[in-house]
Amino acid sequence: MSPYNDERSFIRQISQGDQKAFSEMYDRYKPVLYRFVFNILKSADLTNDSCQEIFIKIWEDRTRLHEVMSFKYYLLTVGKNHSLNVLKKVLSEEKTLSAFISNYNEVNNELEEKMQSDEYQDFINSVLITLTPQSRKIFQLCRQQGLSYDEAAMMMGVSRNIIKKHMIKSMKIFKVAVEKDLGIAFNVLSAITFFLGDFESLLFV
């Protein structure tokens, strides 16, 4: 029979630094503590680490054990407080990580959008420089500034029909450039297609 069967004697011996009593206490109560802590943390790794830390804490604070009436109740109380602190820390770290990832994705998306926007504008400019000065001016007025053919004609001092002919010619050049430039991102192609509009509809403007 163990000399520590009487719990009060058991607690007293541990509080006085009896390592053998502490070792027996560890073997006797670890399964109970493990089940209790696991129900809180839901993680075997966290539970194993926490049980070790809880027993270490009890040993380090062993001089306070003389006030304890029920060792099991004391153990589970310490276990609950420790586990809740661990859980709070884990949730805080996960929240911080989640916020970091969210912020990273937001910044990354903004950077990607800017790169795509820059790529889109570079493509437009590369085609514009191939147009004649008059066609380029008309294209900029009608497509980039949003003027109607009549408004562009009035500003340029030419007929509406001339504006239309230049636009049809420019759109053909853009269409060919888009088809040839297979290295450009698909979403940039989509944006350019939207920017250029329905080519056939120009015939009826």
Please report the domains of the chain, with CATH numbers, ordered by start residue: 7-97 (1.10.1740.10), 130-204 (1.10.10)
pLDDT at position 106: 64
Return d(Cα 188, Cα 195) in angstroms, integer: 10
pLDDT digits (tens, 9 = 90+) for 92-123: 766 665 655 565 556 556 655 655 566 667 77
Six-digit token string for 126: 């590369």
Cβ contact 120:190 at 8 Å: no
Structure confidence at residue 82 as a pLDDT band (50, 70, 90):
very high
Q: What share of the chain is helix, strand, coil (3-state, %, to 5)?
A: 85, 0, 15
**Mean pLDDT value across the chain:** 76
pLDDT at position 12: 86
